[in-house]
Amino acid sequence: MRHSRFALFLLVIGFAAQPATARPLTVGQIRAYMAVHGVGETLNRFFEAEEPGHGGGYPLVEGGSPEGVALGVELIARNPGAVATEEHLVDSMGEAMMHNPRAVLPLLDSDKAGQNMLDAGHICAPSIGDNVSNARALAILVRTRRAIAAVHDPALQAARNACLADIAKDEANIRKQAAP
Residue 178 maps to a domain: no
pLDDT for the residue numbered 68 = 95
Whether 29 is covered by a domain: the verdict is yes
Has residue 173 been placed in a domain? no
Maximum mean pLDDT: which of 21-35, 104-118, 165-179: 165-179
Distances in Å between the Cα of 101 and the Cα atoms of 75, 121, 164 are 19, 15, 11
CB atoms inside a 10 Å sphere around CB 159: 23
In a domain, 132, yes or no: no
pLDDT of residue 27: 95
pTM, whole model, 2 decimals? Answer: 0.78
**pLDDT (tens digit per residue) in 117-143:** 788 888 899 988 889 999 999 999 999
In a domain, 66, yes or no: yes
- Give residues with Cβ within 8 angstroms of 64, minimum separation 6: 95, 96, 97, 98, 99, 100, 101, 103, 104
Residue closest to 99 by CA, chosen among 72, 74, 66: 66
| 161 in a structural domain | no
pLDDT at 168: 97
Number of domains, the chain: 1
Judge whether 179 lies within some domain: no
Give the residue numbers spanning the domain of 41.
2-127
Using alpha carbons, list the distances in angstroms from residue 172 to 144, 156, 164, 167. Answer: 15, 24, 12, 9
Average of per-residue pLDDT values in the chain: 82
